[in-house]
């Protein structure tokens, strides 16, 4: 079937991207080469919950992950996924998989890959004062892993633009902050574009798990307040079918990988 590449750009808002695309040079690539959708986040809009929904094809009431127990490094998720992930199913069927930095649990998932001696915590939540350096380092590690050995399915998660949002533009109150936000969005898109153009997978999908931090919605699970997000995720792909909700990411992977579930 050819290589399948899934890139998760954490926290990329469809509404913001669609509105301010004109200030992002790398967005032109996706407008020219992809179909795009607002992917409505119809599960709890918190990263590990949504990612488990994406990669199991089931909602949180079934897979069991409800958010974060703590946001402190190294942190912990609330609940444990009870279902197999798509990469487990694919590997069991003989597909060659690589998974990098996907926080469906803590520590983040790395499969058939290596962090090459670097601390996984900083590749997951880079500190503010070294954020740019660690994102560049993560990207170089991702490419090094993709260079090493053949693969059929690769999945990678980048903590941009969400962590840049928390660090550098928590509220966009003036033109300067708007431009900073656009710069980080553009940088995140450039990472995805670089992987697509370098490895030329037959099928590729770029998705996000939520938009900006929400100031009107909150949840409590087991007494722990969850810092949720606006529900406007994005999906962009070079295929006819593009997910419109997180559970469909699982089915997108199965369809284009040629992974039969019957």
Please report, for the domain that includes residue 33, its CATH number. Answer: 3.40.720.10
Question: pLDDT tens across 24-43, in order?
Answer: 999 999 999 999 999 999 99
CA 187 to CA 184: how far, in whole Å?
5
In a domain, 103, yes or no: yes
Owner of token pair 């009107």? 216
Q: Is residue 87 over pLDDT 80?
A: yes
What is the average per-residue pLDDT within 75-86?
93
61 is in which domain, residue-wise? 4-257
Q: Is residue 1 over pLDDT 70?
A: no
pTM of the model: 0.97
Nearest-Å Rg of the Cα atoms of the chain is 17
- Res 261: pLDDT: 82
In a domain, 165, yes or no: yes
125 Cβ neighbours under 8 A, 6+ residues apart = 73, 75, 159, 163
Burial class of residue 121 (count of CB atoms within 10 Å of its CB; 0-12, 13-18, 19+): middle
Q: Is residue 23 over pLDDT 90?
A: yes
In a domain, 73, yes or no: yes
In a domain, 33, yes or no: yes
In a domain, 262, yes or no: no
What is the average per-residue pLDDT within 154-173?
97
Q: How far apart are the first and last CA of the chain?
A: 18
What is the average per-residue pLDDT within 218-238?
90
In a domain, 112, yes or no: yes
Number of separate domains in the chain: 1
Our measurement of the distance from residue 83's CA atom to the centroid of its chain's CA atoms, rounded to an integer in Å, reads 19
Q: Mean of the per-residue pLDDT values for the chain?
A: 95
């Amino acid at each position: 079937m050819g290589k399948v590449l899934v890139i998760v750009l954490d926290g990329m808002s469809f509404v913001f991207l669609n509105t301010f695309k004109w200030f992002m040079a790398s967005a032109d690539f996706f407008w020219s080469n992809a179909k795009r959708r607002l992917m409505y986040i119809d599960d709890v809009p918190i990263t590990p919950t949504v990612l488990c929904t994406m990669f199991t094809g089931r909602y949180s009431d079934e897979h069991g992950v409800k958010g974060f127990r703590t946001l402190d490094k190294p942190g912990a998720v609330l609940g444990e996924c009870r279902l197999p992930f798509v990469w487990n199913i694919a590997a069991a069927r003989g597909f060659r998989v690589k998974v990098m930095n996907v926080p469906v649990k803590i520590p983040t998932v790395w499969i058939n890959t290596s962090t090459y001696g670097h601390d996984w915590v900083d590749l997951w939540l880079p500190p503010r004062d070294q954020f740019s350096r660690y994102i560049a380092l993560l990207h170089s590690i991702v490419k090094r892993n993709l260079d090493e050995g053949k693969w059929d399915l690769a999945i990678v998660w980048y903590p941009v633009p969400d962590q840049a949002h928390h660090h550098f533009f928590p509220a966009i109150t003036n033109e300067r902050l708007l431009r900073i936000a656009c710069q980080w969005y553009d940088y995140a898109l450039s990472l995805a574009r670089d992987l697509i153009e370098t490895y030329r997978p037959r099928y590729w999908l770029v998705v996000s798990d939520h938009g900006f931090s929400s100031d009107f919605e909150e949840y409590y699970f087991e007494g722990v307040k969850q810092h949720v997000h606006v529900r406007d995720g994005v999906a962009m792909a070079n295929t006819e079918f593009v997910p419109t909700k997180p559970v469909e990411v699982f089915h997108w992977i199965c369809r284009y990988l040629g992974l039969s579930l019957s």
